[in-house]
A and B are shown apart, each in its own frame.
Chain A
Amino acid sequence: MKNLSVSLIDREDSIAIVEGVDLSIREGETVGLIGPTGAGKTITAKAILGILQPIGAGKPPWSIEGEALYKGRDLFELSEEELRELRGNEVSMIFQKPTGSLNPILEVGEQTGEPVDAHEEIERQRLRDMVIDHLGKVELPDARRRFRFFRHQFSGGEAQRIMIASALICNPSLIIADEPTSDLDVTVQRQVLELLKRVKKKFGLSMLLITHDLGVIAEMSDYVYVMYAGRIIEHGDVYEIFEDPKHPFTRGLLRSAPRIDSDHFELEGMRGELPQPPYDVPGCVFHPRCNHVKDMCREKKPTLTEYKPGHYVACLQTDEI
C-alpha cells in the first residue's frame, strides 16, 4: 500500500533525526514499529501526517525529505488543504495520552464527532447518531447517556476507547496508533488491544502500531520493523523476528524482556546508553553497545540486506552471529 522513506533534518544544524526509513504497510495488515525511547518512531508517524511541530518558538521547521506514498499519492507533495482532507478521512492517529487528547471543556460526544465536523457539514442529529453508534462499537458502556459527559468523568481506558471511536468515525483505511496503551494499566491495556484487534477486523483497517512493548507487538502485528537511533535496523515477519532475531540489538531487546514460556528467569540488560542525536558515530550506530563488535563495524555503515526472504537486517556480521 505504501512505500515510505523519510529523512528529517533540523535545519539549524541539520541534524538528521530519522534517516532513510523505508516502511511499507499492505492493506489489512498491522505493522509494528518498535524501538527504544527517542529512536524516532513518533517523529516518523507525525511526518507521515504532516503534523510535526517545530520545537519551541522561533525554531526553524523540520525539513522532510523522501516520499510517503499512500494509495499512489505522495503525501509530502500534497498541499496543506489536501492533507487536511486526508487526515481523519483516510489516515487517523491515536495518541499515547488518551486523557490529554480530550479537551477538558468539551463534551466527549462532540469530540468523538470532531473529525466529521471538521470535514463536512452535517446535521446535528445525524452526527449525534453516528457518535452514539461509534461509541457503542468501541464498547463504551452506557454511551447513550454518557456522550454528554466531560473527560474527567471517564477512566483512562474509557478515554482511549473514545479516542478510538473518534479515529474511526470517518472510516479511514489506515490507523496510526502511537503507543496506544503505554498510559494505561495492564488489565486495561489488554482490553484496549483486544478492542483494536476487533475493530481492525470489522472495519478492514491497516494499522501502524508504534510501541516499545514487545508483548504488544507480538500480540497485534503481522510484520515488525525495529528502529534504533533513527534507522530501521531489522524488519521481517513477526514470527521470524521473534524466533530468529538477527540484529544484536533486536536480540538484546528480546533477551531483556520476560517470556512466559521459558524457564529462563534471568533477564539480561544491554550495556551502554541510548545514543542522542546527532548520530555522528562512524560505522554502525549500534557498535558502541554491541557485544560482537569488530573493527569493520567501527568503519563501515551497514545497510539493510536480505537475510531470508522477507527478513532484512542491517548488520555487517549477519552470517557470523
Chain B
Amino acid sequence: MTEQKLVVSRTRMRFNQLISGAREFASVYMRSKPGLLGLAILFFFIFTAVFAPFISPYNPYTRVDRPLRPPSNKYILGTNDIGQDIFSELIYGTRVSLTIGFLAALCTVVIGTLVGVVSGFLGGSVDEVLMRFTDVIMILPNIPLLILLMAIFGRQSYFIMILAISITGWTGTARMVRSSTLSIKERAYVEASKAIGAGEGHIILKHILPNVSPLIMATMIYQVAGAMMSEAGLSFLGLGDPSTKSWGMVLHYAQTSGGWYANQGYPAWWWIVPPGLLIALTVASLVLIGQTMEEIINPRLRRR
C-alpha cells in the first residue's frame, strides 16, 4: 500500500468505517424474513410519499365528483363528503404521516440521548435532578398531555405537533441511554482514556456515543411508530392542521362529517377502513424492522 493511500482524510476514514459496518449489519439483516417484509412495506410507503403527485389519479384538494360515491373503477376508494377522491387523499396523506413520524422521532431521540448521556455520565446531583424530572414527565399520562399541549399552543400547526410529541416521548430513550452510559463509562477504555488526559467532551464523543448509537438506532424506529400513532390520534381528535391531509385527518373528517351513516344509513367503509389499515400497516412494518434490529444488536434475543 502506498503512502498516499494511507493518508486518508478523517471524514473519508469515518465514511469507510461506516460503510463496512453498515455492510455487515445489512448482511445479517437480510437473513431475517420479517425484517425484509417490514422494510419492503416501509419502502413502499416512502416511495408513495415521494412520488405522490405522479401516483394519485386526482388532486386530493379539489372536488372531482358527487360526494360519498362508493368505490368504483373511476374512484378506487370512492369519494368523501365534499366529493374529493379518497384514494388520492390517502396517497398524499402518506407524506404528512411519514414526515411527522420521522421528524418527531428524531427530535425525541435527540432529546432523550442528550438527557441520558449527560445524566449517566456526569452522575451525582445532575443525574438526580434530570432523572427525577424524567420521572415526572414519564408519569404524566401521554395522550391527555399531548391534547393539552396541542390545545393550548399548537392548534393547526404540525411544527408544534412535532415538538409536543417529542416533549412527551423522550423519557424512555433517556432512561435507556442513561443505563447504557452508566455501564460504558465503567469500561477499562474509558478509564484509560481519562488516564491519558482526555476531557469529558472527548470521552462522550469518542467512547460513549459510538457505543450507544446502535441502541439509539433501534429505539428510533419504535419512536417513529409511536409518533405516527400520536399524530393520527391527535389529528383524529381535530388537533391537526385542517388544511393538510394526513391519514389521521381523513379519519377525523370521516368521523365529524357523518362517515358512520353516510352509506344509506350504514358506515361508509371505504372512507373509514383504509386510513386505519394504512396506519396499522405502517406501524407493523416499523415494529418488524425494530425487532430485527434489536435481534442484531442484542444476539440473546435471536431465535435459533
Chain A residues with a Cβ under 8 A of chain B:
49, 51, 53, 57, 84-89, 92-93, 95, 97, 100-103, 105-107, 111, 114-115, 117-119, 124-125, 128-129, 132, 144-145, 148, 163, 166-167, 170
Chain B residues with a Cβ under 8 A of chain A:
1, 6-7, 9-10, 13, 17, 123, 182, 186-189, 191-199, 202, 206-207, 210-211
User: Among the listed B188, B195, B210, which residue makes an inter-chain contact with A49, where contact means beta carbons less than 8 Å apart?
Assistant: B195
The 6 closest A-B pairs by CB, nearest first: A87-B197, A88-B197, A100-B188, A88-B196, A101-B192, A118-B198
| Cα(A88)–Cα(B195), bound, Å | 7
| Cα(A170)–Cα(B9), bound, Å | 22
Say yes or no: B211 contacts A95, CB within 8 Å. Answer: no
Say yes or no: B193 contacts A114, CB within 8 Å. Answer: yes
Q: SS class of chain B's interface: helix, strand, loop or mixed?
A: helix
Chain A residues, Cβ within 8 Å of B9: 124
Chain B residues, Cβ within 8 Å of A163: 192
| Cα(A114)–Cα(B205), bound, Å | 12
Chain A residues, Cβ within 8 Å of B210: 103, 105-106
Q: Residue of B at shortest CB range from A103? A: B189
Known contacts A107-B17, A125-B7, A167 near B196 by CB under 8 Å: yes
User: Among the listed B6, B182, B187, B193, which residue makes an inter-chain contact with A128, where contact means beta carbons less than 8 Å apart?
Assistant: B6
| Cα(A128)–Cα(B123), bound, Å | 35
- Contacts A51-B195, A88-B197 known; list 20 others, CB within 8 Å: A87-B195, A93-B195, A93-B196, A100-B187, A101-B189, A102-B189, A103-B206, A103-B207, A105-B211, A106-B206, A106-B210, A107-B17, A114-B206, A115-B197, A118-B193, A118-B198, A118-B202, A128-B7, A144-B6, A148-B13
Chain B residues, Cβ within 8 Å of A144: 1, 6
| Cα(A119)–Cα(B201), bound, Å | 12
Q: Residue of B at shortest CB range from A145? A: B1
Say yes or no: B123 contacts A89, CB within 8 Å. Answer: no
Measured CB to CB, the closest approach of chain A to B185, in angstroms, equals 9
Known contacts A100-B189, A128-B7, A114 near B198 by CB under 8 Å: yes
| Cα(A81)–Cα(B277), bound, Å | 58
Say yes or no: A166 contacts B196, CB within 8 Å. Answer: yes
Measured CB to CB, the closest approach of chain B to A16, in angstroms, equals 23
Say yes or no: A117 contacts B194, CB within 8 Å. Answer: no
Say yes or no: A89 contacts B192, CB within 8 Å. Answer: no
Chain A residues, Cβ within 8 Å of B211: 103, 105
Chain B residues, Cβ within 8 Å of A114: 193, 196, 198, 206
Known contacts A100-B187, A103-B207, A115 near B192 by CB under 8 Å: no
Say yes or no: B195 contacts A92, CB within 8 Å. Answer: yes
Say yes or no: B191 contacts A92, CB within 8 Å. Answer: no
Measured CB to CB, the closest approach of chain A to B39, in angstroms, equals 24
